[in-house]
Amino acid sequence: MRYKTLGSDFYARNRKNVINEIPENAILILTSEDEYPRSGDTTHPFRQNSNLLYLCGIDQEETTLVLAPWHPNPSYREILFIKNPSPEMVVWYGHRLSKEETSAISGIKTVIFNEDFEAVLHDVMMNSQYVYLHLPENPRLKITFPTQEIRFSEKLKCEYPLHQYRRIAPILYPLRAVKQAEELTALKKACDITQKAFLKAIKEVKPGKYEYEIEAELIGEMIRNGASGHSFAPIVASGADTCILHYIKNDKIMQDGDLLLMDFGAEYANYAGDATRTMPVNGKFSPRQKEVYQAVCDIYKATIPLFKPGMTIHKINDFVFKKMDEALIKLGLYTREDVLNQNPEKPLFKRYFMHNTSHFIGMDVHDVGQRDWTFQPGMILSCEPGIYIAEEGIGVRIETDVVVAENPIDLMTEMPLEIEEIETLMKNAHS
């Protein structure tokens, strides 16, 4: 395994916190993610269900967690179902967890092979009234295909229609949003690897190279330092494509005089780093590029101290939107009179800053959490202002990950930020 698990005590604590929030005679069932086919008999790399990971730490396909804390049989109050690591399976796919290994990671004593799932499930269902299940609850995500969670939910409701089914997300998501010490350690490691990847990649940036050559430097350094890979599809965008927010082709030749925007992050122990830096391809910002970069940098530095308990993403946005108007007026993109006459439903700054300033970060790079949630100590969010002037082919974004505290903690202070730092680093790399 590339990483140390967060410890059985961590997972046991999480299960206890969830159980404390559900009523008597209730059970919780979580399934693993699917293995998605790629072609023939191959699959895409497996990524475990974050909610299941949070409660048991088992990073393996075909896993099911059942919590039935009021079951009359104590051995059925916490159960993990795993695939049977038969000799034939091991020959084809390598090591799979034994019952003993599964117990050691999760702290769950009862581990049963999947062959016995239906029989045990029936017993558990007959001793329960409420059934808590999970389906993704993200306002920006609409699932259009039957995932494992959806299929299991439909099957259970069909076979046991008289039970009362409830959503676990309103209980589980607020718990996941506040990071514990073990999670902060994993996230700091993910951010440290992200910084190392940037410092390696920026030294290779120069005119005439392909964007994907820089992407290769990023992934190489991530893997070298123990990451499982990228926490999301990396953006390595040069020239006009710095203004494309989710550009991931990364297939152009970088041109002299252009900017390069890299939005990327390492995943370590299933926790996501997320950073963005923008630099001149030739190592020297033009006067206009410098103006735009400094405007974003000033907003970025003014915003990080706001990530304190009691704030919300909406409040962060309100602050940044006002700062953005001031910056864009100073850059000559519109006037104060234009602002006074603008359509309030379509503010002028949105032409040059289209996204929000922040999102929650954790096991998922866009982690659970809503824009109106009040910040609590231990939450981690991105800070990522940007200015995108499509007509000039200039896009600048700067991003880091911040721990909410009375004195907010920037997890990537080692990543060069100032214009002089970036230009000096690039000059030294090619001298």
Name the token pair of 363: 């096991």
Q: Which domain holds residue 19?
A: 8-177
- How far CA 139 is from CA of 170, 298, 375, in Å, comes to 14, 31, 19
Q: What residue has token string 């123990």?
A: 226
369 within domain boundaries: yes
With a cut of 90, say whether residue 86 has pLDDT above it: no
Last residue of a domain, one of 177, 197, 230: 177
At 313 the pLDDT is: 97
Query: 259 with 289: CB under 8 angstroms?
Result: yes
What does the CA dihedral 275, 281, 285, 287 come to, rounded to 10 degrees? -120
The model's pTM is 0.94
Same domain, 150 and 198: no
Same domain, 194 and 264: yes
Same domain, 257 and 171: no
DSSP E strand stretches across 145-201: 164-167
The count of other CB atoms within 10 Å of the CB of residue 100 is 9
CATH classification of the domain holding 266: 3.90.230.10
SS (HEC) of 201-242: HHCCCCCCCEHHHHHHHHHHHHHHCCCCEECCCCEEEEHHHH
With a cut of 90, say whether residue 95 has pLDDT above it: no
Q: How many domains does the chain have?
A: 2
> What is the tens place of the pLDDT at every residue in 201-239?
999 999 999 999 999 999 999 999 999 999 999 999 999
321 within domain boundaries: yes
Same domain, 124 and 216: no
To 10 degrees, what angle do helices 181-202 and 211-224 make? 140
With a cut of 90, say whether residue 40 has pLDDT above it: no
DSSP E strand stretches across 228-333: 229-230, 235-238, 259-264, 266-268, 271-272, 275-280
Cα–Cα nearest to 160, from 135, 134, 128, 136: 128
Same domain, 113 and 134: yes
The number of residues making up the chain comes to 431
Confidence of residue 35 (pLDDT cuts 50, 70, 90): confident
> What is the tens place of the pLDDT at every residue in 279-313?
999 999 999 999 999 999 999 999 999 999 999 99
Same domain, 227 and 312: yes
Same domain, 142 and 240: no
The angle at the Cα of 41, spanning 88 to 222, to the nearest 5 degrees, equals 90
CATH classification of the domain holding 108: 3.40.350.10
With a cut of 90, say whether residue 136 has pLDDT above it: no
Task: Tell me how far apart the terminal alpha carbons of the chain are, to the nearest angstrom.
Answer: 40
DSSP 411-423: TTTTS--SHHHHH
The mean per-residue pLDDT over the stretch 369-384 comes to 97
